[in-house]
Amino acid sequence: PIGRTLMVHVVPFSEDMLLLMSEDITQGERLQTMRRDFVANVSHEMRTPLTVVAGFLETVIDGLDDLEKDDISHYLGLAHEQAGRMQRLIQDLLTLSALESDAPILQEEAVDVASLLKEVLQEARVVSAGRHRIDLDCATHARLLGNAKELYSAMANLAINAVRYTPEGGRIQISWRQRGSVVEYAVKDDGIGIAPEHIPRLTERFYRVDRGRSRETGGTGLGLAIVKHVLSRHQGDLLIDSEPGRGSTFTACFPARRLVA
Ligand code: ADP
């Protein structure tokens, strides 16, 4: 087929015959390109905050004799913020690599949905710091079979994104519903929304609609990649419905057979 890369091997077969063997290496090549892109992306993501940290530290070192105490603590504070960004990036990379290692879900248990979502709500409210109205609609005593830590990280990621991409005064609704054979965890916001052409690529590592904005809000660009992995390990799916300027709804769907009585 067109678009595939073939490697041809020429092997002497007998005195007067050569054997031609072709091998399809398309997949291997694609993996190598992905690996190269990934290393380039990670290096770039690390270099930016590191440059800022180095810059602020240099300013402090050079100005130790002349700078006011307040200025020194201002510069150190900024350096500290960037170090935090690097820590988050490394944490997300480690999470992603553990999820990709294909290990079976560790410690699968019956996770109490209501208390999991209460914690998600609390975390979203901490990140929002009172700037949004955030509600939780969850009238269930259901328990979902899965890994509590992974599920929390996926659900909290969606809720925190809603906070990050919704201007002050916006409304965020977190809900849990069962619809026939599917259970849905949905996070709806009335924030900036996403243009349709970006939606299919959002779960790629480091894909962002607006690089600058994501940086400003402290994002690593890995959140939705982590969400997608966690969901697929729980036979779940992610649906994204969004309109620029009106808001987004991110829905995680799980098969209802994962519910335990
Ligand atoms: P980031 O750390 O950049 O938020 P994610 O993987 O969590 O990385 O999200 C990828 C991109 O998807 C974001 O940079 C942002 O452009 C977009 N996005 C995610 N959630 C929302 C949302 N609720 N509203 C608008 N855009 C969003």
Residue 1 binned pLDDT confidence (cut-offs 50, 70, 90): low
pLDDT tens figures, 77-108:
999 999 999 999 999 999 999 888 867 777 78
pLDDT tens figures, 113-165:
999 999 999 999 999 999 999 999 999 889 999 999 999 999 999 999 999 99
Q: Give the CA dihedral 54, 58, 60, 66, nearest 10 degrees.
A: -160
Mean pLDDT, residues 48-66: 93
Which residue of 45, 155, 198, 202 sits with most ligand 1 atoms within 8 Å of its CB, as the best mutation to test the pocket? 202
Which residue of 42, 204, 208, 250 sits with most ligand 1 atoms within 8 Å of its CB, as the best mutation to test the pocket? 208
What lies within 8 Å, CB to CB, of 146 at 6+ separation is 105, 108, 109, 111, 234, 258
- Report CA(203)–ligand 1 centroid distance (Å): 9
What lies within 8 Å, CB to CB, of 69 at 6+ separation is none
CA distance 85 to 218: 7
CA distance 27 to 33: 10
Q: What was the pLDDT predicted at 4?
A: 79
Does ligand 1 have an atom closer than 6 angstroms to the CB of 248?
A: yes
pLDDT over 90 (residue 11): no
- Report CA(215)–ligand 1 centroid distance (Å): 11
pLDDT tens figures, 180-235:
999 999 999 999 999 999 999 999 999 999 877 777 777 899 999 999 999 999 99
Give the residue, by CA position, lying nearest to ligand 1 atom 16.
Answer: 209
CA distance 4 to 190: 44
ipTM of the modeled complex? 0.98
Strand partners, 183: 178, 254
Residue 37 binned pLDDT confidence (cut-offs 50, 70, 90): confident
Annotate 99-132 with b (16+ C-beta within 10 A) or e (fewer): beeeeeeeeeeebebeebbeebbebbbebbeeeb
Give the residue, by CA position, lying nearest to ligand 1 atom 3.
Answer: 221
Does ligand 1 have an atom closer than 6 angstroms to the CB of 191?
A: yes
Which one-letter amino acid corresponds to residue 218?
G
Mean of all residue pLDDT scores within the chain: 92
CA distance 190 to 202: 18
- CB 188 within 8 Å of CB 251: no
- Report CA(95)–ligand 1 centroid distance (Å): 18
- Report CA(53)–ligand 1 centroid distance (Å): 25
CA distance 33 to 46: 20
